[in-house]
Amino acid sequence: MEETYIDSLDPEKLLQCPYDKNHQIRACRFPYHLIKCRKNHPDVANKLATCPFNARHQVPRAEISHHISSCDDKSCIEQDVVNQTRNLGQETLAESTWQCPPCDEDWDKDLWEQTSTPFVWGTANYCGNNSSASNVVMEHKSNLASGMRVPKSLPYVLPWKNNARP
């Protein structure tokens, strides 16, 4: 049985397509092929049912109940369910000891303490009266080369958005 199990996991093993008996597909590509072939052969797809334990198993609808009772993958699923049930009973969740760290921030208070001067791009920004440097102008630093400056306003029509045709 061990050798059969290893053989079924071989990705290079050729499997026959249930939709077209002439198709021999490598096991590693089989799920993708099933999806593609199901779309190409809807008449055959309507006659087949998918196994609930392994989507690679496409069985004639008349035989699906027999397949479900004898499917090899059923035992794997049942074993997983049994193991999860056992572990659930043995597993005790530890009480969390995490505590929220103290917070000195008060965003509402900070909002009221801010200056009411609106932000305007390109103008000097003065510090608020609450600051120790209330008369200091905040300088804007430019990354442009010397002799270059930022335009004071944008052109009315941007050159690359010009709809005029030659």
Task: Please state the domain extents for the chain.
Answer: 14-89
Cα 35 to chain centroid distance, Å, stands at 22
User: Residue 106's pLDDT is what?
Assistant: 82
Give per-residue pLDDT as tens, 17-46. 999 999 999 999 999 999 999 999 999 999
Using an 8 Å Cβ cutoff, are 74 and 68 in contact? yes
- The mean per-residue pLDDT over the stretch 4-23 comes to 82
User: Residue 10's pLDDT is what?
Assistant: 87
User: Residue 107's pLDDT is what?
Assistant: 81
Residue 43 buriedness (CB in 10 A; 0-12 / 13-18 / 19+):
exposed
Give per-residue pLDDT as tens, 50-108. 998 888 999 999 999 999 888 888 888 777 777 777 776 555 566 778 888 888 888 88
Residue 1: band (very low, low, confident or very high) from pLDDT cuts 50, 70, 90: very low
Q: Alpha helices of 27-99 — where are they, by DSSP H? A: 30-40, 42-45, 64-70, 72-90
Q: Could you tell me which residue, 4 or 13, shows the higher pLDDT? A: 13
DSSP 109-123: HHHHHS--PPP-TTS
Q: Which residues pair with 24 in a beta bridge?
A: 16
Sign of CA dihedral 32, 33, 35, 40: positive
User: Residue 103's pLDDT is what?
Assistant: 85
pLDDT of 48 higher than 90: yes
User: Residue 108's pLDDT is what?
Assistant: 80
